[in-house]
Each structure stands twice: as structure tokens, then as C-alpha cells.
Amino acid sequence: MNAPAVRGRSDLGSTLLALAACASLVAGAGFVHGGMKQRLSRPPSDELLYYPSGLLVRQASLGYETAAADVAWLRGIQYYGEHRLTDQKYELIGHVMSIVTDLDPRFLEPYIFGALVLSQELKRTDEGLALLEKGMRANPESWLLAFEAGFIHYVCRHDNEAAARYFVRASRMPGHPEYVDRFAAFATQKSGNTGMAILLWKRVLLTENEFMRDVARRELNHLEAEGGIR
């Protein structure tokens, strides 16, 4: 799994100053701890000491919450990488990504990264979906968060109905790529909602992607053969 990089900023000088200040504050709170071997030798409950609550870090950030979120994001990716190379136990990943999103609720990557690790690697699907729901409350216009929720419902829970609901939600949001419509139609068809699936496949027919239009024609012909189209 490849982690997204730190987000770009328009004012580099201000950002570096903010990052330096926040790094100092976060380190002072115990957020950064040297020595990977020493960290990994500690039990998870002890390791938690190095990840204070998002509220604590927010209070220490002195108005630089966004920059502090970047520091926390980098530390979270470091945490994941350390355990990925050793014991493959990421027990605190949900807590760490919660810190980042408390600091910067509009930062989408931590919701998605945390949800995928929780759901696919730790098999803690409820926690992964809860993190995405938190993101959707803070970012109701994000097609990406809704799509990822549908993906987890489909792949991890094998819940076609819930997956279809989130895929359709994503397909109704501005800026979504064409493949979202295909996922919405496919999952809706799998859930047994033939009428809605027909409408969604017909919408796919309007896309500019010839491959997707071919898929839509094939699925519509299949539904017609089954008596789903009158």
C-alpha cells in the first residue's frame, strides 16, 4: 500500500515555520520518540503514550492545526512502515489517523488510509467504516470517501446492498470519475435492484469511454434477456 505524500502549500516559508513550531510542540508532548527498536519492544498500551489525543495536540498547536496534522500524518505513516517491516501489527493506526483528522477534518487521505488498513489488514471493518463516516460528516461533498465506503462494504463485508448505496451516493456527487458510475450500476445489479441497475447502466451509456459503454450494453442485454427491461 502506497501512502500519499504530504500536501502542498502555497506559502512555503510560512509552512516551514509552522511545521517547525508544531514539530517542537508535538515532540514536547511526547509525540515523536527516538529509537525504533525501543518503541517496538514496548506493548501497544505503552506505545500509546507516544500518540496523545487529537484534542491535546490541537491545544498545543497554537493555531497551526493544519501543519500539525501534516506532522501527525508523517508520524502515522512512519508508525505503519515500522510495523509493516516487523510485526505487521498496527493496533494504533485508527487512533493515529483519528488524531490527524481531528486536527484537519478536510484532509481526506488519513480517512482512506486508516480505513483500508483497519478493514483489510486488521479485519476491523466496523472501525474502518466509522473512520470513513467521520470523514463524510466533515466532507459531505467528497465522492471519494463515499466510494471507499462502498468498496469496503463490497470487498470486506460482501454486502452488495450497502456497497450499492455508497457507490450510488458517490456517483451523484460532482467531480467523480466515470468508473464510479460503473461500480454503482454493477453493485446495484448484484444487490437485486434491477430497476435502479437499468437506470444506472443507461447512464453509463452516456459516458465517453467506449469500453464502459460496451460493458453497459452487455449488462443491459443480459437484463433484457432475464426480463428486466420492458
**Domain positions in the chain:** 9-140, 159-230
Task: Record the cell numbers describing residue 36, joined without a space.
Answer: 525504533
Q: Residue 52 has what pLDDT?
A: 53
Q: Residue 107 has what pLDDT?
A: 95
Digits of tens for pLDDT over the chain (230 positions)? 544 444 544 444 444 444 444 444 444 334 433 433 444 444 444 454 445 555 555 554 555 678 878 888 988 898 899 888 998 888 889 998 998 998 899 999 999 999 999 999 999 999 999 999 999 999 999 999 999 999 999 999 999 999 999 999 999 999 999 999 999 999 999 999 999 999 999 989 888 888 888 998 999 998 888 765 54
Q: Residue 223 has what pLDDT?
A: 87
Query: By the 8 A CB rule, do 180 and 147 touch?
Result: yes
Q: Residue 53 has what pLDDT?
A: 53
Spatial separation of the C-alpha atoms in residues 225 and 96, rounded to whole Å: 51
Spatial separation of the C-alpha atoms in residues 14 and 1, rounded to whole Å: 31
C-alpha distances in angstroms, 201 versus 84, 177, 204, 218, 222?
40, 15, 5, 10, 11
Spatial separation of the C-alpha atoms in residues 219 and 226, rounded to whole Å: 11
**N-to-C CA span, the chain:** 45
Spatial separation of the C-alpha atoms in residues 60 and 51, rounded to whole Å: 13
Query: By the 8 A CB rule, do 1 and 114 touch?
Result: no
What is the value of pTM for the model shown? Answer: 0.73
CATH number of the structural domain 159-230: 1.25.40
* Distant-in-sequence, close-in-space partners of 128: CB < 8 Å, separation ≥ 6: 94, 114, 115, 116, 117, 118, 119, 152, 156
* Distant-in-sequence, close-in-space partners of 163: CB < 8 Å, separation ≥ 6: 150, 151, 153, 154, 157, 187, 190, 191
Query: By the 8 A CB rule, do 170 and 150 touch?
Result: yes
Q: Residue 26 has what pLDDT?
A: 42
Q: Residue 79 has what pLDDT?
A: 87
Compute the C-alpha angle 197/134/174, nearest 5°.
45
Query: By the 8 A CB rule, do 58 and 12 touch?
Result: no
Q: Residue 45 has what pLDDT?
A: 41
* Distant-in-sequence, close-in-space partners of 123: CB < 8 Å, separation ≥ 6: 156
